[in-house]
Each structure stands twice: as structure tokens, then as C-alpha cells.
Amino acid sequence: MLKRLLFYFIGFVVLASLAFYGFSRWQASREKVDLWAIVPESAAIVVETNNHQALASHLNKTELWQNLETLPIMQQFQDHLALLDSISPSKQRLNRFFDKKNILTSVHVTGKNTLNFIFYLPVNSVGEHRFLRTLTENITKNPDFEQNSRQYKGVLLTEVTYKPLNLRYTYFSYHNNMILSASPALIEEVVRRATLDNPASVAAEYKSADYLEQPDVYANVYLNNREIPALLNLFLKEDVMPQVQYLSSLCRSGMLQLKLEENKISLNGFSNPEPLKGSLHNNMVAVQPKPILVKEYLPTRTAVMLHFGIQQIARIKQQNKSADNNAAIDSLANTFKQELVLAYLESNSIRTRPEKVIYALSGNKQQTLNLLYKLNTQAAQKSKTYTGTYGGYRIQQLAVPELPAKLFGDLFLGFEQLYLVELDNYMLFTDELSTAHALIDDVLAEKVWSKSPVQQALQGETLQEANFSLFINTVNAWYILNRYTSENERESLLQASSFIKKFNQVSIQYAKVEGQYYTSVVFRKQESSNQAESSFQVEFSVPFNSRLISRPFPVQNVVDKSREVVVQDSSYTLHNITAEGKHTWTDSIGSTLRGSIKQLPLGPENRLRYLFATTNRIHATDNQGQPLENFPFNLADSLNIQRLTIFDYNRSGNYNLLVDDDLGNLYMYDIRGNAIQGWQPRSLDHKLAADPQHLRVGTRDVILVMLDNGYVYALNKNGETYQGFPFSLKSPVTSGAVAKIGADLRRTELKTVTRYGEVITFNLQGRVLRREKLPRPSKRAMFELVQESNDNKSYVYVMQEQGRVVVFDQEQKKLFEKRFVTSAPKLVQYFNFGGDNIIYSITETGPQKTYLYDTTGRLIGGQPLDSSQPVTIYHNEAENNFSLFKVYRRELQKVNFRLKR
């Protein structure tokens, strides 16, 4: 079904479907007719094309056709075209028959799981009549075809069957036109319209809108919005259909022009409003389109975004007679003006419900807050709700379940638990506190649309002001699409994944203009660099006098925030290397680095500074490698630090520095060097398996510590143990845990894997909830959980056994397996830059080789890289390529590459 829909949108593919159709004797008539008049009213979409050779020529010259050729449906098309050629009198005559004529194709939903097409083909000359007659004779002679005829309302209908594939098409002739379809019922519907006196065209309102007369336009596309929900219901699950139906009620129909460019498919035109009572159009009473301002706060990991731009955004609420009238909620709803946004964030699994966020712009912030807090106080009564700040933004838990739906309608259901973030003049609603924190992190890190080159390029090709906009990033939304696609169509979705992900930026927009909605639809492929696909290109090499003993640690330039690295050599000197390969500063620290290098904004100018630990010291330096005041912190000479962990509980700049040693002792200090009570030391009697993790659950701060003997501790800010801890996993571990933050300690779940492959899920009450086993082929097989190197939001499981490495996704499904020369443990890294921009790095320490793999397990670049340490990889979003920093002996290299798409 989905394959046919893609086929249809391109137009050329739809025409090629004629490979299966039989033709009959021509019943000539000289009378000219309007083919639009006999299109049934049940048509969801109608396409009119008139220059098919030009369309084919354009597709052949562009990357669009190369992308289409990879689809299984296109490979079938080429086979079917060869079949048509085999029975055609002449390929040249076949091409001429289709060219330079207005051909209509209508799309109809004919059943719960059925989509069918009707094709309307003019026959313009005696030569074309003769061509069809010869083609019909060839079909009659071919034993693979069978032909039968019958009468319906005085019209001769002919059915042709292609027996090897059991394909049937019915056709009839009508005033020098051939009408054919795989559905006999649709053909009969056309016959009934054709026998009417002066039937009205389904597109009568757009009679003057003939875009085919304009340059570079390849089709007129008519949309029947009243039938679009039924069309989408073929592909989507029932639980999302109420939202689809309401959104579709903005317009009743539209006529758009189809344009094709190198990396873009666009449709533009006008749509007529839906006048029915209760429609989205009638509720909105849209007058003037509004600008899309939320780009300053919308994270780049957004998968789907619905944007409403009207003066009174409360009007989009569906009128529900059974709903309770609440004057306080109505007053609150009326304080929101101009902008309302519902965003779905990228998910890492089809089983995971995507995070939803609502942005509502306040016309009077203080009035909005007064009404919100008054409403919350009444609802909370004696119960205590969370209030706090994070990153300088106030967060308030609201005790009014489903408040967004009560304010704005059923489109905004799904917020039984609710948190409010005061994001300047926006009221941001989330259902999880962790989602609110992550969004603030994105805003502070400038990982938002307004700072993204990719989004800026898309916004340059879309409407700057609109009443309704739908934006989809198909790569970010891939798991969401899988989650809400019907089971019948999921296979088709997977087969079309390459094409869908290539044209990953989709926008659908409506802007009110003089009684109509100007309509813009864009399918855009992200620009890519000119670099040869999947090859390695060395941008620079930096030689050193001493052997390099550390990985290239990722850091930002203190001044311009460009991406650079810091490395350490065997003389225990740190070197900062810029993105251009220049030395900027060095710092001799007299010992090996322990853990990684952190960067924090410190000092009166709040500039980024470098923090790191050595054997028994904590260091902080500026961008010249000079120590900050009060640093280094000199700890006991006997201490053997393993790593430095930094906590900023509320992102307020009040940092706590935590170090752990090889005996399992924890020491914590504030940024001025004062020892924190309860941590001098906090002894856990065994070495840590991974970095301690800070979790915020409601009003509680939890520091989770995993010991390599399998014991788990949950500590508060004073080092005190939470009830239920410590407990033992009954098996050693070598990695940390991933958390799914819930409303409280009981509903917060953590997942880890033991060395022997047991996946254990537990909560913050110290209770084991589930135990699952990954396949373990032998006792030599050892497992670890590897979190992504950027922000630890996703993870994979890795098994190593005698030179064999197997990677499993977080659903415990095997992704790929590789075998290596040596049996020594490998250094495995996982880089997830969003969507399909995923890279696995596996380093063999003996041969000093690093292998890079994509999501399919394909070796990137076709060869390994010389590398003695883990690597650092950056993603260049604007050019959609990657930069890798690696060390080998006395040399640091920056290598650029692209992923094969």
C-alpha cells in the first residue's frame, strides 16, 4: 500500500503502472469531453500530467531518480515496463503514445485495506488508434493474457487478466478516451457518472487553476481533504485517527502544482476551507498567519512538530458537549496568543512511547502564571507538588491531570502527569521532569532549530508565517513512524526506508489568504558534502615529540565554541589542538590523566574552563593552560584516583566535584575546595564499575553508584544511603546503568547488564523488577552496556568472546557481529548523533587498529584506521559529514568521512 502511494506521488511511476494493463478495440468518437467531470467524488487525490517525456528526462538527470531506483517497487516497475515493451509494436510508439497529452490518475480507498487507481487516457489521433489496436491483438495472441467482455448500463467493459501474476484490469472507451482500473467497482462508478447529464467536475472550484501552463510544473494535484483520513487510515493505527481527522478538517479540498528539483519535491497552491460545523477551520477563525518563533526553543532532536499560528489559540479546541465548563480553565486558555506547538521528540525504540512537549505562547505572562498557580493550588489542596529551578528556569509540577487537553482540546491528550517550565514567554508543558531538564539542556547548549544549519536551510524554503504547519524529520521520526504504522503496512515502510530517510525533511503548511489557504508541501533531502561517499580524507596530521598516551578528549574552543581536542603525551603534557590543527596551549601536569576532561563555565566571565584529575589532584585551567585560583586541589599522596565526576544538581553553576579511588572511596568538594560533609570519604569498599550518575526524581537527588562486584548504591547529596540499598545484582558488572525517570523512586527504572549477559531492570527502591538473558555461547563470552558518547540517552549491549564482537540494540536484538585477529578485549564506542547518524567504533589495542561500522554493520571506508586509543567523532550537521580525531604513536590526525546512504 505504502509503495503504491509513493509511486503515485511521483506521477511518472503511476503512469508506468500501465505495464499490466490490457487494451481493447477503440470505439471512436469525435466529441471532446472534460475528463475531470467523470472522476468519482470518492477520489482522495487526482493527478493531471501532460509532458511525460520531460518528466522522465528530468528524473534521469537528478539524484531523485537515483534514489527512486533503489526502491523495490521501482525494480518491479522496470520489469513491468519490459513486459509492456515485449507486447508493444514499438517502444518509440509507446513513448509517443504517453507523451504530450493530459492524463488523469485518481486515487480511491475501496476497502479497509485496499487502495485503487483509475487512469484516464486520451487517444488523440488515428495513429494512436492503430497503435492500440495492434497492442490489443498482441495481447489476444499472448497465452499469458486472458480477455473477457461484459455490458454495464449500455457500455462495453473489458477485463484483461495477466495470468502469471493474477493481475486484472477493467477498461472501457469513452469519447476518444480510455478509462481503466484494477477495480471493476470503480469503473462502474465512472460509467454511472459518464451517463449523467452534465456531471460536475470534482475540481470545478479550481477550473482556472491550470498550473501545467507554468514552467517547471509537472502536474496538477487535486486533494480531497474529506477523503484523506480514509487514505491515511490504510497506513496508520486506529488510535491516531481522531487527531488525523480533526487536522484534515481545516480544508475540504485543494489544487496544487507539483515541482521537482535536484533534492526537493514541492507542491504549492490553494485550498478551500472546510465549512462544516466543528471543523478545525471553523474553530480557529483564522485571519492572519503568524510567524514561527518557537525555533529559538525547539530542540534539533524534534521528530514531529505541529504548529498553530492564530491570534486566539484556545479556539482550536474541539467543542465537546460532554466536557465540563470551567470558567477558570477558559480564562487561562484565553491568555495564550499567536503560537501553540505540539512536538514529539526522537525515540530510540519502537516500544518506547515518544516524549511529547507543548509550547504555548503567553500574551500576558504574569496573568497566565497567576491563573495557572491559582488553579494548581485549588487542585493540589493538601498534597505537595514539586517546585524548583534548573538552568535558571523555574519548573512547577501541576496537579491538574490532562490540563493541556482541557485548555486546547483532545489533540493534546497524554499528560496525566504534568510539569510546567517558564521558558521566557512560553509555557512549556511536559509529562516527565527528566524531559523538562533535557529540553533546558538543549536550549542552554543551543541545540535548537534557530542554531541548526540544517533547519535554517529548510526554513528558507518554507512559509515564514502560517496558520497551521506540520514538520516531520523522517529520520528522527523513524521509530515513531514504525510505532504508529499498521501491522499490514510495516513491511512496505521498511522496504521504502532508504527513500523515506533520504528525503527526511517534510513540511505541510497552510496560510490564510483572502478566503483560501495558501498551501505548501515540501519533501526535502538534506544537503550533503561533495566528499567522496564513505571514503576517508585526512584533513591534517600533527606530529609530537613524545608518544601520545591518551585518547583525543573532545572539548570546545573557549572563544568561538568550535570543536577541538586535548591529548596527553608520555611526558605527561597536555596539548590543545584546534579544529584547524593548530597548537594553542600546553600544560605539564606531571602525571597521567584519570578519567576524562570536563569543561564548565567558571569565573566572573563565565567562560568555559578545563577540569580534570590526575593521580591525587583535581586541576582546573583556563584557555592558556594556566591554573585557576585555588587549583589544583591537592589530595592525599596515597590516593589513586580513578575518575572525576562533576555534579550541578540544578544547572545553577553550583558545582560539586566527586572523585573515586581504586578502593571504592568517594571524595566530594565544592568548586572552592571545601570538603562536603559525608564524603570524606564515603567508603563503598569496592572499585566502581562506571562513573557515578546523578538522577533527579521529583524533589530528590540520587547519586547512583555501580560497583564492579555487582553491588548497587543509591546515595543522597549527603552521602546517605536510600532505603533498599545497597543490593547485589548477584554478578559482576563492568558498566553503568541507564535510567527511565518516573514520578517517584518506585516508578523510576534502571537497566544494566552483568558480565555474564543478564539484563537486569531495577527501581530506586532497590527492587529487581526483571531479569532477562542475552544469548551467551560460552563461558568466555563477556558483556557490557555501552552508552552513546554524546549524552548517554541511548545504549547498546556488546558481547566479546575470543576475538568475536556482537552488538545488540536496547531491545536485545542482534545488530551485527564481527570477528577480529586477536582475542584481547576490544575498546567499543557508540556514537549516536540522531536518526541514522550512528557509528560504532571498535579498537584493537594489540594491532592498534580502529574499525568504524554503520547501523548495518558495514565497515565505513572499507578499511580500518591506525589508532592506539579510543577515537573522538564530531558530526558536521550542515554538510552531513563527520570528523574523526585519532592518535597513533606520535601523531594526531583529523580524518573526514561520510556515511553511505
pLDDT digits (tens, 9 = 90+) for 597-606: 999 998 777 8
At 8 the pLDDT is: 38
pLDDT of residue 531 exceeding 50, the answer is: no
Average pLDDT over residues 422-428: 93
At 96 the pLDDT is: 64
Query: CB-based contacts of 39: which residues, under 8 Å, 6+ apart?
Result: 46, 104, 106, 118, 120, 190, 193, 201, 202, 203
Average pLDDT over residues 770-785: 96
pLDDT of residue 839 exceeding 80, the answer is: yes
At 116 the pLDDT is: 86
Count the Cβ atoms, other than its own, within 10 Å of residue 129.
15
At 70 the pLDDT is: 52
* More confidently predicted of 358 and 699: 358
At 78 the pLDDT is: 52
pLDDT of residue 10 exceeding 50, the answer is: no
Can you spell out the DSSP letters for 788-809?
-TTTSS-EEEEEEETTEEEEE-
At 167 the pLDDT is: 77
At 766 the pLDDT is: 95
Main-chain dihedrals φ then ψ at residue 405, nearest 5 degrees: -65, -35
At 496 the pLDDT is: 67
Averaged pLDDT of the chain: 86
Average pLDDT over residues 499-509: 84
Separation between Cα atoms, residue 361 and residue 341, nearest integer Å: 9
Which grid coordinates belong to 636? 592525599
Average pLDDT over residues 162-190: 87
pLDDT of residue 24 exceeding 50, the answer is: no
Measured in whole angstroms, how far is the alpha carbon of residue 802 from the centre of its chain?
37
pLDDT of residue 298 exceeding 50, the answer is: yes
Average pLDDT over residues 35-41: 93
Residue 814 parent element (H or E): strand 814-819
Please, which pLDDT band fits residue 22 given cuts at 50, 70 and 90? very low
At 606 the pLDDT is: 82
Percent of the chain with pLDDT over 70: 89
Residue 14 parent element (H or E): helix 12-16
Residue 151 parent element (H or E): strand 145-152
Can you spell out the DSSP letters for 233-283?
TTTB-GGGHHHHHHHHTTEEEEEEEEEEETTEEEEEEEEEE--STT-HHHH
Separation between Cα atoms, residue 863 and residue 291, nearest integer Å: 49
pLDDT of residue 42 exceeding 50, the answer is: yes
At 899 the pLDDT is: 86
* More confidently predicted of 66 and 229: 229
Partnered with residue 805 across adjacent β-strands are 800, 818
Assign 583 to helix, strand or coil: strand
At 33 the pLDDT is: 76
Please, which pLDDT band fits residue 23 given cuts at 50, 70 and 90? very low
Which grid coordinates belong to 704? 547512583
Which of 70-74, 93-97, 123-127, 745-749 is predicted with the least confidence, judged by mean pLDDT?
70-74
Separation between Cα atoms, residue 796 and residue 185, nearest integer Å: 51
Which grid coordinates belong to 114? 485496499
The C-alpha cell 498567519 sits at: 289
Separation between Cα atoms, residue 465 and residue 447, nearest integer Å: 23
Query: Residue 382: exposed, middle, or buried by beta-carbon count in 10 A (0-12, 13-18, 19+)?
Result: exposed
pLDDT of residue 213 exceeding 50, the answer is: yes
Residue 584 parent element (H or E): strand 583-588
pLDDT digits (tens, 9 = 90+) for 233-287: 888 888 888 899 999 999 999 999 998 887 788 999 999 999 999 899 998 887 8
At 69 the pLDDT is: 54
pLDDT of residue 13 exceeding 50, the answer is: no
pLDDT of residue 371 exceeding 90, the answer is: yes
Which of 58-72, 272-286, 489-503, 652-666 is predicted with the least confidence, judged by mean pLDDT?
58-72
At 19 the pLDDT is: 31
At 889 the pLDDT is: 95
Separation between Cα atoms, residue 792 and residue 627, nearest integer Å: 30
pLDDT digits (tens, 9 = 90+) for 682-730: 999 899 999 999 999 988 999 999 999 999 999 999 999 999 999 999 9
At 592 the pLDDT is: 96
Quote the pTM value.
0.86
Average pLDDT over residues 406-428: 92
String of b and e for 657-671 (b: at least 16 CB within 10 Å)?
bbbbbeebbbbbbeb
